[in-house]
Structure 1
């Protein structure tokens, strides 16, 4: 008799994956637009990271 091992639970839920993906898209968009507006890479990275963090918090509350 061969025993099949139970499948492990997923690393992320679908909701968490959607929230993180949308936040990443938002942060990338903001960072890119900031870079095109000013040409400063450091400011673009900071703006993108800030937007990603804000989007995670916003989407976590909005997506049920």
Structure 2
């Protein structure tokens, strides 16, 4: 009884989201270290994460195999 299911998200989607998360985390940490303001660091991290996801979505290639 081992039926294989398709993955929940594609590899491309996972890569784009992980890269966006890493960029947002880096921006948030650097903002916090620069000014010691937690709210500003969270907002900067969220903004950078959104911008990074949009950037990587446009630049990471699609899989044309099907």
| TM-score when normalising by structure 2 | 0.87
Are residues 1:10 and 2:3 paired?
A: no
After TM superposition, which residue ranges in structure 1, 4 or more long, deviate above 6 angstroms?
A: none
Partner of 1:29: 26
Q: How large is the Cα RMSD of the aligned pairs? A: 0.9
Structure 2 runs not aligned, ≥5 long: 62-66
| TM-score when normalising by structure 1 | 0.90
Structure 1 runs not aligned, ≥5 long: none
Q: How many residues align?
A: 61
